[in-house]
Structure 1
Amino acid sequence: MPQQKDTALDQMAAPAGTSPSPEAELVSMFVMSYNQADYIEATVKSAFAQTYANLEIILSDDGSTDGTFEIMQRLAQDYQGPHQVRLNLNPTNLGFIGHLNKIFDLSRGVLIVYAPGDDISHPERCSTLYHAFARDRPLLVHSDVNNMDQHGTLTGSTTSRQKILADMTLEDTAGSLALGIGATCAWHPDIRRLFGPIEGEATFDDLIFFFRATLMDRIIHVPEPLVDYRLGVGLSQLKARTFQQGVAQERKNWQRAYETYRQRLKDCQKMRPDQTRVIKLLQNKMETARYQLELFNSPFRAACKALLSLRKFKALLSMVNRLRKMTPKRQKRNLVRVQENM
């Protein structure tokens, strides 16, 4: 394994005679990985197969321990195609948000195409996203996906969030914890330059960037699947198997909600202070999430507070009901009901 360096970027020159068209702007495709050795080769090869001419491909690993980076390194060394290929290995694990923020420091293109280490990009993905971007210069361009299982077999179904997003008001977007599919996205560097880096560790790119782009009315949808999207794996796909895991997952969900609403509130106050209703909504959402976290950290004190606030009392009852559903007895009862209905 090579010596780790703080931003270990090794640019590999494209073969002579394969330089991109001078008319095309540089686009960055960022393959972001962490312990995805089972999937990373297909992801990287799909990046190498992109048809967009003036493309830099950054293969970036967040300190994997399963050989993911070594696979990326081998593929980069063997690559003989026209694209610029750069390697980055974070010397210490930054976590998803820390790694995400670093994307913008490493990328040099006018558009950053995001490629998670377990999905497969169609060859025309970068080209299609760039041409959609070039017309209006939005902050975010996103597409649909073809769903595939953990083994890479297409399920035959396509997912698009556009119908839901199109019907959302800005207030709906501010309050929602289910917006677009981050794996389909490409971003203009201004999505960080204008707002600053994402703060906190528990939120996700789609929860912040879709809100930012909607807030500024700079978002475009490409109505075709450009990514084969692997279901059942990844950070947002982890499922609790025991009551203790369920409680831990519930706490993590509320931590994510709190950090998401806090970031959105900061972004809205900075860029759109005129949106007073959205700001008020986010303040209320953040306060509710803060209280839910307090139920885990200081349950007795939090329960006492519920006696003085109808909102907190409702939140307490909601939490108790969710935890009851996680008990082994209730889970077994639900399983029996499912089996009886089969």
Structure 2
Amino acid sequence: MLGFNEPEFLSQMASAVALRPQIEELVDRLVDEGFDNLYLVGAGGTYAQMWPYERLARQRSTFDVRAVIAAELIAAGEASLGERSVAVFTSASGTTDDTVRAIDYCKAKGVHTIGITGYPDSPVAKNVDTVLLTEPKAWPFDPQMLILMTRLLSRRGEFEGYEKLAAELDKLPQILLEVAKQTEPVAEKFADDHKDTGYYFLIGGGNLWAYAYLYSMCILEEMQWLRTTRVHSAEFFHGSLELLEEDTSVIVFQGEDEARGLTERAANFAKRISKDVTVFDTKDYPLDGISPEFRGLLGPLVHDVATGRVSKHLERVRDHSLELRRYYRVMDY
């Protein structure tokens, strides 16, 4: 596979899954001690990665769980944030400025802060009350967040089958490796066909709306300097559909949760207008070892791995490094 280090991928994914005992111990301690609300704090892609787990809590629990943007949290505040709060922060580098400042902001209010990163000497790791360390560059953070949220809901009696799910997640490194391998030829063809495409229209719903947002902003825009529009599949018919034309390149992220029908409706309409609609669907992957009732929960993770192959092939055909930036972490702002 193009630009793919299989041993490193497996090792990084294994390091994320291996945090399960630490996460369980942490969640159990916090539940036993008692707390009133949970804040999931991120910036850019790490903010988007929090949405599926806020959504999962809203669906199943009466507990107050909120995903918030780090910089806005500092600027606007939250009335419920205080000594009875817990806040989770993720950062691949451990140095994201907005996230580091948000940690300091929360700690000043007496919040118990948790950081997930791959760098023990980073500002995130050093500043939080509890740090959960993976191998360097381990991404995404979905395995850790899924374990954390389902453990919390399980302890509250709001999620059935936690032990079964957690045991199945041990197989994630190999499962996701197969996702990458299966996607490789699809990704190669997609990139070859879209070498000169400058504008993409992305659709996602349910727990994949976050990934449509993430891939649009953090990959196509930030890493490839391409123009995009992104829309939730349930909102597609309230304005954004008017942008479709015959040659509009549409990417649809389809999953297996409650929003599947909404996304299917949007995709079917898009196909009536555009001749360039690509649907990435988690149902196309076996995910051997994952029970049917849990497949929908893995949508963001499956798509992250699958589109990682697309990104590498776009980098190839466009001769545009995924590491190249003009402004982000280059200029002061």
TM-score, with structure 2 as normaliser: 0.31
Larger helix proportion of the pair: 2
Larger Rg, first or second structure (1 or 2): 1
